[in-house]
């Protein structure tokens, strides 16, 4: 391994560690305050935390549409438009 690769790998490891520490700190503070205190928009914050759980399914559905309707661009557009109400319904369900 040459010197630039070692330097790049070291920077990557340091940045990943610092990002993990910052994300864990922010997450723990947010979890503490939403669980123990009365916070404005508490329900919205809790539902916002669940959004990453539904996004992979939406991305997967769009990927399947892209793979299946690769040659038929108009059908792919309709498929994308059909996925939007599902995403909106999921977002509203999480927020209520």
pLDDT per residue as tens, the chain (96 positions): 567 888 889 999 999 999 999 999 988 988 888 888 887 877 777 777 777 777 777 777 777 777 776 666 666 666 666 666 666 665 556 555
Nearest CA to 81 out of 56, 51, 55, 61 is that of 61
Q: Tokens 């123990």 correspond to what residue? A: 36
Q: How far is CA 41 from CA 7, 45, 53, in A?
A: 44, 6, 20
CA 68 to CA 65: how far, in whole Å? Answer: 5
């Amino acid at each position: 391994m040459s010197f630039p690769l070692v330097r790049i790998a070291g920077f990557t490891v340091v940045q990943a560690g610092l990002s993990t520490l910052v994300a864990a700190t922010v997450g723990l503070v947010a979890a503490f305050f939403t669980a123990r205190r009365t916070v404005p928009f508490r329900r919205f914050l809790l539902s916002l935390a669940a959004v990453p759980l539904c996004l992979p399914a939406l991305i997967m559905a769009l990927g399947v549409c892209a793979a299946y309707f690769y040659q038929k661009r108009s059908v792919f557009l309709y498929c994308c438009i059909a996925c939007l109400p599902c995403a909106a319904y999921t977002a509203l369900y999480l927020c209520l």
